[in-house]
Structures are given as C-alpha cells and as structure tokens.
Amino acid sequence: MIINLFILLLLSSCDFSAGDHYTPAALTSKKSVSEIPIKEYTISDGSESDSLVIKLNDSGRTKADQLVDFAESLKGITYKYGSKDPNQGFDCSGFISYVFNHFDISVPRSSIEFTNFAKEINLKEAKRGDLILFTGTDSTKRVVGHMGIITSNNGLMHEFIHSTSGKAFGVTNTPLNKYYQGRFVKVIRFFRDDQL
C-alpha cells in the first residue's frame, strides 16, 4: 500500500521534463518568523502507517502578502522535477513547499496530497496567497497534478505564481488563461481571513 501510494504521488506530483538547465543563484538569506504556533492535523486512510501529520500556521504573524512577496522573489529559478531546492530548481509542489516552509508552515510535499487539504474557496472569492490546484497535463484525468499560489484577482482575471515545466520552464507568474481554466480543479485557503 505504501509503495503504491509513493508511486502514485511520484507520478502525479507535477509535470515532468527531462534535461539539465541553468539555475539562477537562490536567495541566501532566510527571513525569520520565530516560534509560530502550529496546529497539527492528521489525515489517514484508516491505517496508522499511511497517516500524514499536517501542521498549519495559526499565529496571524505570517500574512498572505509576505508569502506571495517571498514567492515572487524566486521568479526565474528553473524547473526541476522532484526538487524543492532553489539551487537545483523546483517542481510545482517543491516550490510551494519551499515557500511555505520558509515561514515554518508545514504543507504536504506532493501536489496530489493537497486534494483534500485546507479549506476550499470559490474561484471568484480567491485572494492573494490562496493555492490554486490543477490537473496534470492530461486534463481528462481529474486528479491534482499541478499547483500555484494566487498573486492577484482583480475580478476579471486571476494570476498565479508556480514552477512550470512548460514554456517558461521555471518559477513564473501566469494568468488563468484558457489552457489553465481547462485544467482547473479548485482553490484552497490556508490563511485566516485576518491574514489575507
């Protein structure tokens, strides 16, 4: 069961693209958010060996704007499947994991693990800092396989930042265009309303 779950997570974590690519130098200074109170939640399929402990920030200290600003400071870092290391590159969930972990907010490592994680929000109500989830490149398979962080919602167009294996091949801002609308699964929110 664990091996099957691992293989499923590995195959569906983000789009894959092979090859070596130049990686810009990563940020060397880590912003400190000291002693943030954390709430733990356990997600389980019923067996103890497959349970996942999730920790969510409940302090009010990290604001969505801080998180998005930090995420945007990483633009240009190249895509690398399976990586959450800025010196190597990021896949989509590695990028999300790196950004949230920078603020001591524990999140799942794989995009599929976000499927039933956090509070679902209507796309029209999405705000800066919410996560937007998509299928993998095959939109007929309605399984989460890609994700990003909402950077703006002006009522007419949403924009998000993500690490993509597509044309930009790395961390970039993208409008929620027709292509991504076809892959859209849902928006989830980690932050309380007073943190947005």
Number of domains in the chain: 1
Domain assignment of residue 60, given as a range? 36-195
- Mind listing the pLDDT tens digit for each residue in 112-152? 999 998 999 999 999 999 999 999 999 999 999 999 999 99
pLDDT higher at 18 or 96: 96
Tell me how crowded residue 20 is: count the other CB atoms within 10 A of its CB: 8
What does the pLDDT read at residue 61?
59
Q: What is the largest CA-CA distance in the chain?
A: 45
What does the pLDDT read at residue 42?
42
Quote the CA–CA distance of 105 and 98 in Å, as a whole number.
Answer: 10
Q: What is the CATH number of the domain that holds 56?
A: 3.90.1720.10
pLDDT higher at 121 or 41: 121
What does the pLDDT read at residue 40?
45
> 137: which DSSP letter?
S
Whether residue 85 contacts residue 109, with contact meaning beta carbons closer than 8 Å, is answered with: no
* Residue 22 included in any domain: no
What does the pLDDT read at residue 161?
98
What does the pLDDT read at residue 41?
41
3-class DSSP state of 15: coil
What does the pLDDT read at residue 172?
98
The residue type found at 34 is S
* Residue 49 included in any domain: yes
* Residue 125 included in any domain: yes
What does the pLDDT read at residue 34?
32
* Residue 105 included in any domain: yes
pLDDT higher at 58 or 124: 124
What does the pLDDT read at residue 54?
41
* Residue 19 included in any domain: no
pLDDT band at 157 (very low <50, low <70, confident <90, very high): confident
3-class DSSP state of 84: strand
* Residue 6 included in any domain: no
pLDDT band at 107 (very low <50, low <70, confident <90, very high): very high
The residue type found at 124 is K
What does the pLDDT read at residue 108?
93
